[in-house]
Structure 1
Amino acid sequence: MVQRLGSIGKLLVGVWLAGVTVATFVVIPPYQGLGDAGRIVIVHVPTAWVAVIAFTVSAVYSALFLRRRRPDDDAKATAAAEGGLIFTLLSTLTGMVFSQIAWGVFWNWDPRQVTILILLLIYAALFALRSAIDEPERRRRLAAVYSLFAFVTMPFLMFVAPRMAESTLHPNCAFIKGSDCNGITLQVGNVGLLGDQKVQLLGLERQGDIVVAQVKVSTPGLASEAILRPGYDLTTRSYTDRPTFPGQRFTLALESVNLERGEARINMEAPGSGLLANQRTLWVFLASNIGFTMLFVWMFLVRSQVLSLEVQIAQRKVALA
């Protein structure tokens, strides 16, 4: 009966994720401003969330092992940590692909890229610790303690540290129409950072009710600089032209102008509405979250059973010896 349910569950997960894959390319419309690159969010974000779930499950079973000293709890903690490591790696790789498409470079030391790399190294060290200790009980105990300490760092690295950094190009501030990035205010001649973009306001030119700014930008992955000319309508108090960053899908917007002070506020934005504003995209995104969560549960159950079986075999060998 258990094997039959396992087979049904495996088939359900496979069919579900296959449906999500097809819907990602057939049902979801291209994201305005990112085109087909926006589809990668359907995998990138859910894998990151499932990694959080997996590391949480690992911490729970690590705490249970320290309390009850049951090898099965250690096996489940290990299986969950393995799943978390796999999903964290998937999230990192899909993020790198998006980075190449949107920013022109696979790795630009964005705060989120750095913190998820640190998380990967922390949990990779957990398995290095387990492989370095031969005595089973001592290995389980130390691994459980380490897993709890690693779990404490996870919320900080995943949610807190990236939001504390001022310099970031992670797209959650550029997916929204009008952008909720802070932007920067520069006077003519001044240099600043917009994300990790180096920008310099060279001048402001008024043409009737329109003000055109000259902005020099240096972007990740590019050896040369470029001059962009965003526009601003003094009558409607809104931007007009939004030139695209070289090698990227994001645009440079002029959000406000003070001609008397020779000052302008510029920001990085993406045209179009939010990625999940489209109902079809939202439903596929939710289905992806469910599908990857089911995949983790299936992987967790199978792997924990295998690890528990290995423990039982090892115990029998010791008893027979």
Structure 2
Amino acid sequence: MTQRLAQMAKFGIGLWIAGVMIATFLIVPQYEGLGDAGRIVIVHVPTAWVSVIAFTISAIFSGLYLWRRRERDDHIAVAAAEAGLLFTFLATITGMIFSQVAWGIFWNWDPRQTSIFVLLLIYAALFALRAAIDDADRRRQLSAVYSLFAFVTMPFLFFVAPRIADSTLHPNCAFIQGSNCDGVVLEVGKVGLIGDQKVQLLGLERQGNLLVAEVKVSTPGLQSEAILYPSLDLVDGGMAARPEFPGSRFQLGLEEYNEATGAVRLNMEAPGTNLLENRRTLYVFLAANLGFTALFFWMLQIRSQVLNLQWAIAQRRA
């Protein structure tokens, strides 16, 4: 009976994940400017969160091993760390694909990408450590201690480090379609930051009812520079021309003009509608989180059982 339930659960998880993938392309709408690439968020975010869950479980069972000295705790800790490393790698790959479409570059060594790379190295070193120690008891003990220290770095690398720097590819204030930044108020000749973009106001020119700004923009890492010409309708106060940032689908808008000071407010805007305000997208996104979480726990169970079996066989041979 238990085996039958396990088989049904495995089949159900596979069917659920397949359904999420199908729904991602058939139910989730395209997003203006990003097209199909916007849908990769349905996979990117859940895999990132599952890796957090995996590393947390690995740390918990590493602590339990140091307390109880049970081999089963070590096996669960190792299996969770393996799964966490896999899901972190998947989150990195999907993030790179989205980054290329949204910001025009796969990899820029910005704080988010650098921190996730360091995290991958930290947990890869865990398995290098285990492979380098022949004595089983010493291997389990040292890897448990290392796992706890690795876990301490995880919240900092995941949540803190990417938000320390002023300029980063991810997350920025225009990351989600339909969102925008607070903008930056500049006078002619001044330099500022909008999200991850450096902007310099070079000049202003009236063209009939329009105020046209000449703006020099630089992408993260100074990969490219361009001169853009956003404009403002002085009659109705609305933005007119909103050119795209170089290599990106995000737009530069001229929102306000202060005639007394000669300053303008520039802002970044993402095309389309808010990603998760669409109910179909939200439901598929939540289903993806549930599916990948279930997949992780199934992988954790299978892998820990394999490690238990390998240990039992080794004990019999000894």
SS in 1 for 2:169: coil
Contact preservation (8 Å) 1:37, 1:101: yes
Identity %, equivalent residues: 67
- Distance of 2:134 and 2:238 partners within structure 1: 67
Does structure 1 residue 177 correspond to structure 2 residue 178? Answer: yes
Contact preservation (8 Å) 2:178, 2:275: no
| Residue aligning to 1:315 | 315
- Distance of 2:109 and 2:274 partners within structure 1: 25
Contact preservation (8 Å) 1:185, 1:263: yes
Aligned length: 317
- Distance of 1:104 and 1:176 partners within structure 2: 16
| Residue aligning to 1:265 | 265
- Distance of 2:152 and 2:108 partners within structure 1: 26
- Structure 1's unaligned 5+ residue stretches are none
Q: How far does residue 196 in structure 1 lie from its aligned partner after superposition?
A: 4.1
Contact preservation (8 Å) 2:249, 2:271: no
| Residue aligning to 2:27 | 27
- Distance of 1:16 and 1:233 partners within structure 2: 50
| Residue aligning to 1:303 | 303
The amino acid of 2:210's aligned partner reads I
- Distance of 1:44 and 1:282 partners within structure 2: 14
| Residue aligning to 1:204 | 204
Q: Provide closer, same or farther for how the CA distance between residues 39 and 18 of structure 1 changes in structure 2, counting only shifts above 3 A.
A: same
- Distance of 1:224 and 1:89 partners within structure 2: 28
The amino acid of 1:153's aligned partner reads T
| Residue aligning to 2:62 | 62
| Residue aligning to 2:145 | 145
SS in 2 for 1:66: helix
| Residue aligning to 1:219 | 219
Q: How far does residue 188 in structure 1 lie from its aligned partner after superposition?
A: 1.3
- Structure 2's unaligned 5+ residue stretches are none
- Distance of 2:61 and 2:131 partners within structure 1: 19
Contact preservation (8 Å) 1:85, 1:123: yes
Q: How far does residue 228 in structure 1 lie from its aligned partner after superposition?
A: 0.9
Contact preservation (8 Å) 1:188, 1:201: yes
Contact preservation (8 Å) 2:162, 2:170: no
Q: CA RMSD in A?
A: 2.0
- Distance of 2:117 and 2:223 partners within structure 1: 26
- Cα deviations across residues 151-205 of structure 1 (Å, max 9, x unaligned)? 11111111122122210132552115351x3433332123344444332211112
Q: How far does residue 41 in structure 1 lie from its aligned partner after superposition?
A: 0.2
| Residue aligning to 2:248 | 248
Query: 151-160 or 284-293, which moves further after superposition?
Result: 151-160
Contact preservation (8 Å) 1:105, 1:220: no
SS in 2 for 1:173: coil
- Distance of 1:314 and 1:15 partners within structure 2: 36
Contact preservation (8 Å) 2:43, 2:288: yes
| Residue aligning to 1:94 | 94
Aligned residue runs from structure 1 range 127-146, under 5 A: 127-146=127-146
Contact preservation (8 Å) 1:103, 1:221: no
- Cα deviations across residues 32-81 of structure 1 (Å, max 9, x unaligned)? 33222110000000000000010111111111101100000000000000
Q: TM-score, normalised to structure 1's length?
A: 0.92
